[in-house]
Amino acid sequence: MRQIKVLGPGCPKCKTTYKNALEAVEQSGLPAEVTKVEDIEEMMKYNVLTTPVLVVDEDIKIKGRVASVSEIANYLR
């Protein structure tokens, strides 16, 4: 099962990225778990300064901008 994390403090861009991740998983039909990480200490472990951040299987894919549904779906394939 793929692991997707959206790192962000709860800003509108972070919420949109999280929503897009859920939509991408639903559209792809692939097994994946989507988690929203809002804890600052947990986010700091990834050494990123700008949010939102999209992490797929512990690999940072996108940071500092909203990831589209199609982009996220491509990372799941």
List residues with catalytic annotation: 11, 14
Label each residue of 8-71 as H, E or C: CCCCHHHHHHHHHHHHHHHHHCCCEEEEEECCHHHHHCCCCCCCCEEEECCEEEEECCCCCHHH
Asked whether 72 and 20 are in contact (CB, 8 A), the reply is: yes
